[in-house]
Chain A
């Protein structure tokens, strides 16, 4: 009993870290730029497909595909930001919702056309496969890897936003756009870079997710719900909040699937609706 509990906790935490990687970018863009970007997971899916293609067709090593997924998603998002998103800054959240749902639909159809609707197979390098036995329980190596990556990224992100000049600019632009402009900060550029960073992280998350969640064209919509739950529950623009919410969601989803398989998905939505009713701005939201 205790043993299975530890196992569920470990898997759940790893799953939570995965959700965190997928959603932290959205918490940055949605919280900071106030843009309801439902296409966030579409960028994640893009990262996933880039990684799959590089591994299977071009035989890149797994680790090398991760930065590639990041760069591809970031670059694609800059194009979308310049062409479409920036027209809707400051418009109603309904318009932003619709535009980005449109992008999701198109991305799903394009992915289905390019890759088919089947699950994409991916082969991890041997040092990431298998599990390590500790006190008679197996702990997946890849999950440990995920946790390490997520923790490292969290540290790096917080350090970047808190201690670097770029981070200071971002925070200034978010807190008071006009004042930031007045001080000579190029707010447009800061937002563009923030957006690229957020989508790039989604791309990275998508690439890392394949082994756990699988990858097919419905990824963009299926994980959107989870990502939105993380962001809404954690509170906008709060990296720590997203971290806590993702952990909560990951552990409770895994535990729910393990202990109450019939009602697990029901529970998640119930918890989310409950938390949002209690704190509409999320657990760590300021507004």
Chain B
């Protein structure tokens, strides 16, 4: 009897966490608005959706898995190159390329997770960065395959469902990226609100204690790392397919660092943080694109310092403090 009560209480708890908040529904209802309101900026909107997906993927390992990674672009680039090479050498149908990119990135992530899950602190930061750089250098030296520093040439995508071409305005691109983002978001949301997600949260907060109550810590961390790798691979493939180019920059350290900035800016460990961060960062960068990129990084740096010092939980964390308690959950 007592056990049954505990069980139903915990089931209730999880069900309560998984319930959709009205603000969430409103947010997703606004995402198709760019089609109507800013039809000239659909390419940008598509890039934002891709970045948001990438940020969600980092959030899964950083915010939920508690692993600091400075080399997350490795999976992004892997997905991007897989999709690009696939369309170049086999066929340009987008979904199969997307699926293959997800599988390749996922396999790589799974293999890597055995290494990653046992490290912490500086060693982890250095290993993730080292692996990111390794892939970058590999792509750079395999010029016959990847095109090296010139980028991969000859990526051609067939129309989506054989009907919707990837046009110059990005109508198809945005619809495609947004759908992928939404579906992956659903998966991420489901994962983080599951008992598995809760145990990850426990591992992040106190791993010794989780071990003591019998949670297989490393296996959980490995699993979330693999899921995140799959999503990063999908994001990379989306970028390839919507822009029909792949450059070395998809693997670069800058991309990993930028992504960290985006996620920190939005707020770690709350899924929407990455989305909000991506929207703000990408729009700001687009607006300031006339400015020399070197100066642009001055403001990014200042923003980072300000967020770390004044807004430890990012914009969403700051907003959560302003809104009434009943509106937000921890």
Contact = CB atoms under 8 A, between A and B. Distances in A.
Chains A and B are bound partners = yes
A57 interface: no
Interface residues of A, number: 43
B115 A277 contact: yes
Contacts of B137: 263, 265-266, 269
Contacts, number: 115
Contact of B308 (A99, A107, A270): A99
Contacts of A30: 122
Contacts of B301: 101-107, 109
A28 interface: no
A101 B257 contact: yes
A94 B264 CA distance: 10
A102 B304 contact: yes
B120 to A, nearest CB: 8
Given A108-B294, A266-B138, A232 B123 contact: yes
Interface string B112-128: 00010011011101110
B305 A272 contact: no
Interface stretch (A3-11, A69-77, A110-118): A110-118
Contacts of A84: 305, 309
A263 B141 contact: yes
A25 to B, nearest CB: 16
A265 B130 CA distance: 11
Contacts of B138: 266
Contacts of A276: 119, 123, 126-127, 130
B123 A106 contact: no
A277 B116 CA distance: 9
A231 B123 CA distance: 10
B90 to A, nearest CB: 28
A101 B125 CA distance: 13
B294 A269 contact: no
Contacts of A263: 137, 141
A225 B264 CA distance: 22
Contacts of A225: 129, 133, 253
B191 interface: no
B298 interface: yes
A109 B123 contact: no
B161 interface: no
A93 B121 contact: yes
B302 interface: yes
Contacts of A228: 126, 129
Nearest to A110: B298
A228 B118 CA distance: 20
Given A266-B141, A269-B137, A94 B312 contact: no
Nearest to A105: B301
Given A101-B257, A102-B302, A273 B122 contact: no
B294 A101 contact: no
Contact of B127 (A104, A107, A277): A277
B125 A97 contact: yes
Closest 7 CB pairs of A and B: A105-B301, A102-B304, A109-B298, A106-B301, A280-B123, A102-B305, A266-B137
7 contacts: A36-B125, A87-B309, A99-B304, A112-B295, A117-B294, A225-B253, A273-B130
Given A36-B122, A87-B309, 11 more contacts: A30-B122, A93-B121, A97-B125, A98-B308, A99-B304, A103-B301, A105-B298, A217-B294, A228-B126, A232-B122, A272-B130
